[in-house]
Structure 1
Amino acid sequence: MRHADRTVLVTGGGGGIGAAIVERYLDEGAAVAIVDFNAEVGERYVAALADRGHKVHFVAADVSDFAACERACASVEAALGPVDILVNNAGISPKHAGQPMPIHRMDPAEWRQVVGVNLHGAFNFSRLLTAGMIERGYGRIVSMSSVAGKAYLGDIVAAHYSTTKAALIGFTRHLAGELGPHGITVNALAPGRIATPMVRTVSEAANRGVVDITPLRRLGEPSEVADVCCYLTSPQASFVTGQVIDVAGGWLMT
């Protein structure tokens, strides 16, 4: 129960890696708030978790909208109290017939949407929650980057996704330096190919190609990313900050 009496906010927590992170924190005794765009899925998911006796709260919000994030934070803190741990997990990677859109054909609206969700979302919640963390002298932030933020994966993701994931690495390192004196650690995860619905939007051949060059010869599981996330916010990692941890089975070792 490493996270007993802690309040955690997970963006994009309604499915995939986010849902695995939510359940891991609940299993470790935390109260968890889920912020997700899909209200119907989120409310159904939270009802099921609450039926199992967990302390959980759901807010439907577009993480790219600062005002919506502000309302979400107010709702979470009214329901669960001050947020101790922020997991910036929300992210999108649009595909077109299973393929990423090349830059010379990309709709500017799609670029703005991906930057809004993947990068502005992390800023919005960090901006809104760090003042309270500073005041209390404690906080933990984990942002979801990707191996795509470190290497070229053009047959799998497009420029907007790689750009935002690389930016989150810089964001993480800056915040670690800025917030460290206030007792706040800030780290990032860089998953490889994890068996989620988003990964299944690309072709089976593309995923098989990744497996073939991954030393562990398989896709990762969402629970394996959740385990590392919870470690980074646990007492055991209290002297770890500014780090980007690959959870990729050895694929693209950097």
Structure 2
Amino acid sequence: MDRMKDKVCVVTGGGRGIGESIVKKFAEEGAKIVFALDMNQEILSQLQNQLGENVRGYLLDVTDRPAIEEFVRKVKEEFGRIDVLVNNAGITKDALIGKMQEEDWDKVIGVNLKGVFNMTQFVSNLMLENGKGSIVNISSIVGERGNVGQTNYAASKGGVISMTYTWAKEFARKGANIRVNAVAPGFIKTPMTEKIPEKVLESIKSKITLGRMGEPEEVANAVLFLASEEASYVTGHILDVNGGTVL
């Protein structure tokens, strides 16, 4: 397949879990280059060796604005454009509101919300220069419905949804063909959910209409659709990928 044919793609948090699946999917679909951004060089090196020449690992912290600016400059010099940005990087620091440390609030908001703002601000400038692009933000069912013990995570993912709506309006104002959408996964089998106790997981599964947790590739398929020209008339949309957890 070639739904990403010749596209220059950037995926944050691209080293593992959902991000890794997105990177693989884009590479399989003929992307010219997929930049997998992550904080773990070892994981990135393994991914690059596994997937080959059109995947490039790049060590980047989405809270480091000068580093993001430098990265975008380098990509512009080499390729002249960024066609697709997937804002996937995210962390959790869970606690009930009464016990949540301010530091843990700040860390989650810094990566999950401001990190998306940082990446989009710099990448969208390049997209606007070229008059086109597709941005896909990874939100969460928690950003839509909340979840006990996840005040910081829920706030950050809810904010991502609000920014998605705002940017879809902003970037189209002057006629640029820049689409902005989001995917809101439910409970997906990733390193992040591996930390959840089995008893809790069984309770979660009982509330999912399809009776199981999702696979990272199932989220990647949704991202691929929104990023590709197949979704050329889709912008400002939040696509739920949750197995019918909320109906």
Post-superposition offset of 1:236: 1.3
**Normalised by the size of structure 1, how large is the TM-score?**
0.92
Percent identity between the aligned chains?
38
Aligned to 1:97: none
**Mapped partners of 2:147, 2:226: distance in 1:** 26
Q: How does 1:22-41 map to 2 (within 5 A)?
A: 22-30=23-31, 31-41=33-43
Distance 1:208 1:242 in 2: 34
The equivalent position to 1:186 in structure 2, one of 176, 180, 184, is 180
Aligned partner of 1:10: which letter? V
How many residues end up aligned between the 2 structures? 243
In the alignment, structure 1 residue 140 sits paired with structure 2 residue 134: yes
Matched, 1:242 2:236: yes
| CA 1:122–1:58: 2 relative to 1, 3 Å | same
- The reply to whether residue 175 of structure 1 matches residue 167 of structure 2 is yes
Q: Which residue of 2 aligns with 1:65?
A: 64
1:214 equivalent in alignment to 2:208: yes
Shift in Å at residue 76 of structure 1? 3.5
Alpha-carbon contact 1:57-1:79 (below 8 Å) kept: no
C-alpha separation between the residues in 1 aligned to 2:143 and 2:57? 29
What SS does the corresponding residue of 1:104 show, helix, strand or coil?
A: coil
SS of equivalent residue, structure 1 residue 32: strand
Letter in 2 for 1:24: K
**Residue 86 of structure 2: aligned partner:** 87
The alpha carbon displacement at 1:148 in A equals 0.2
Amino acid at match of 1:136: N
Structure 1, unaligned stretches of length 5 or more?
A: 95-99
Task: Provide the rounded CA distance (Å) in 2 between the counterparts of 1:78 and 1:13.
Answer: 22
Larger displacement relative to structure 2 (71-80 or 219-228) = 71-80
Measured on the aligned residues, the alpha-carbon RMSD in Å equals 1.3
The letter of the residue matching 2:58 is V
CA distance in 2, matches of 1:58, 1:197: 19
Which ranges of structure 2 fall in alignment gaps of 5 or more residues?
Answer: none
1:78 deviates by 4.2
For 1:112, the aligned partner's letter is D
- Change over 3 Å in CA distance of 1:28–1:138 after alignment to 2: same
Q: Does 1:118 align with 2:119?
A: no
Where do 4+ consecutive residues of structure 1 move more than 3 Å?
A: 75-81
Inter-CA distance 79–33: structure 2 relative to 1 (3 Å threshold)? farther
Deviations along 1:25-75, whole A, 9 cap, x unmatched?
00110110011011221122212222xxx4122211111121121222234
Instruction: Report which stretch shifted further, 117-126 or 161-170.
Output: 117-126
Task: String of CA shifts for 1:166-219, please: whole Å, max 9, x gaps.
Answer: 000000000001112311100001000000010111111222111111110000
2:186 and 2:202 mapped to 1: Cα distance? 13
Distance 2:105 2:134 in 1: 29
For 2:76 and 2:130, locate their aligned partners in 1 and report how far apart those are by CA, in whole Å: 14
| Contact 1:59 1:76 (C-alpha < 8 Å) held by counterparts | no
Distance (whole Å) between structure 1 residues aligned to residue 48 and residue 150 of structure 2: 32
Q: State the distance in 2 between where 1:176 and 1:200 align.
A: 34
Residue 9 (structure 1) aligned with residue 3 (structure 2): no
The 10-residue stretch of structure 1 (164-173 or 68-77) with the greater mean CA deviation from structure 2: 68-77
- 1:81 Cα deviation from its structure 2 partner: 4.3
Secondary structure of 2:189's match? coil
